[in-house]
C-alpha cells in the first residue's frame, strides 16, 4: 500500500447535464451550448432531478431483479473486494460558492443529494476521499476494483441494492468525461468517485479523478 499523505481538496460543481440527471462534482466543468467543457472555475448549481419512477413498481427483469426502485436514501455501503464497510453515508449538498460539500473526515462517504437514490434510474453518485489529513480515505483502494466486483448500498427502506462493477477509469481533471459519468442512463447505475493520480503540491490538489462504474444486478431485504 502506498504512503498516505495529507491532502487538500476542491470538489466543484457540474451543471446542466440533462433533464433526468443532476450532477455532482470533483472536476471543474460546465456545459456550454449543450456540450461539457472544462472551465477554470465557478459553475452554477445543477438543476433538481426529474423523477422518472412509475406510480407502480416496474416488472422484474428476466433475472428477477426489478428494472428500478422507488426512491430511498442510502444509509451505508460495503465493497468487499477493497474492504470497505462504512458506518454511514452522509448527504452532500452544495456550498455557497457552488462547490460540493465534502466529508469532514477520511472514512466517511457521501451521497450527492441531487443525483438519483441508489436503485432509481440514472447514475447515483457516492464520493469519498482517497486520503485526508494523513489518514487513508474510504476510497483509498477504489482504483483496485475490477469488473465483476460488487458494491452493495443499504437503503433507508431496509433494502440492499447490489451493483456490479463494469469498469474503473482514471481521468485527468482537465479532460473529465462529464457526460459519461453524470449523463442519463437507461437503468439504475452507480458511480463511485475519488481523487487520484499525481498530487500537485502547488495547488494542493490531485490531478486526476478515479471513477468506478457499476450497474444494478440485485436487490434484497436487509
Q: Single out the residue of 6, 22, 5 nearest to residue 125, CA to CA.
A: 22
In a domain, 24, yes or no: no
- Model pLDDT, residue 63: 55
Answer yes or no: is 138 within a domain.
Answer: yes
Could you tell me if residue 156 is inside a domain? yes
* CB-count exposure of residue 1 (10 Å: 0-12, 13-18, 19+): exposed
Whether 92 is covered by a domain: the verdict is yes
pLDDT score for 66: 82
Does a structural domain hold residue 7?
Answer: no
Within a domain: 121: yes
Number of domains comprising the chain: 1
Question: Would you report the helix, strand and coil content of the chain in percent, each value rounded to 5?
Answer: 5, 40, 55
The whole-number pLDDT of residue 98 equals: 61
Quick check: is 191 in a domain? yes
Instruction: Evaluate whether residue 62 is within a structural domain.
Output: no
Inter-residue contact 88 to 155 (CB < 8 Å): no
Whichever domain contains 185, its CATH number is 2.40.260.10
Task: Going residue by residue through the chain, which has 222 residues, state the pLDDT in tens, using 9 for 90 and above.
Answer: 344 444 444 443 444 443 333 333 343 332 222 333 322 222 233 333 333 333 334 444 555 678 999 999 999 999 999 999 999 999 998 778 766 688 999 999 999 999 999 999 999 999 999 999 889 999 999 999 999 999 999 999 999 999 999 999 999 988 888 889 889 999 999 999 999 999 988 888 889 999 999 999 999 997
Q: What is the residue range of 103's domain?
A: 29-46+72-221
Compute the distance between CA of residue 176 and CA of residue 22 in angstroms, rounded to an integer: 16
Amino acid at each position: 500500500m502506498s504512503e498516505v499523505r495529507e491532502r487538500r481538496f476542491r470538489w466543484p460543481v457540474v451543471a446542466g447535464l440533462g433533464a433526468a440527471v443532476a450532477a455532482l462534482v470533483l472536476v471543474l466543468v460546465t456545459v456550454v451550448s449543450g456540450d461539457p467543457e472544462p472551465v477554470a472555475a465557478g459553475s452554477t448549481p445543477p438543476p433538481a432531478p426529474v423523477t422518472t419512477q412509475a406510480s407502480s413498481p416496474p416488472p422484474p427483469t428476466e433475472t428477477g431483479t426489478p428494472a428500478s426502485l422507488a426512491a430511498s436514501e442510502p444509509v451505508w455501503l460495503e465493497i468487499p473486494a477493497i474492504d470497505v464497510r462504512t458506518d454511514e453515508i452522509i448527504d452532500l449538498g452544495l456550498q455557497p460558492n457552488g462547490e460540493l460539500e465534502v466529508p469532514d473526515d477520511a472514512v466517511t462517504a457521501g451521497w450527492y443529494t441531487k443525483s438519483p437514490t441508489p436503485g432509481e434510474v440514472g447514475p447515483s453518485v457516492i464520493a469519498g476521499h482517497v486520503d485526508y489529513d494523513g489518514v487513508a480515505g474510504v476510497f483509498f483502494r477504489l482504483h483496485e476494483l475490477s469488473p465483476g466486483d460488487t458494491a452493495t448500498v443499504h437503503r433507508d427502506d431496509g433494502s440492499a441494492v447490489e451493483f456490479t462493477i463494469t469498469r474503473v477509469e482514471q481521468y485527468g481533471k482537465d479532460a473529465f468525461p462529464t457526460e459519461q459519468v453524470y449523463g442519463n442512463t437507461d437503468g439504475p447505475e452507480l458511480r463511485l468517485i475519488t481523487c487520484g493520480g499525481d498530487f500537485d503540491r502547488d495547488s494542493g490538489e490531485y490531478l486526476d479523478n478515479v471513477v468506478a462504474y457499476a450497474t444494478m444486478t440485485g436487490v434484497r431485504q436487509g
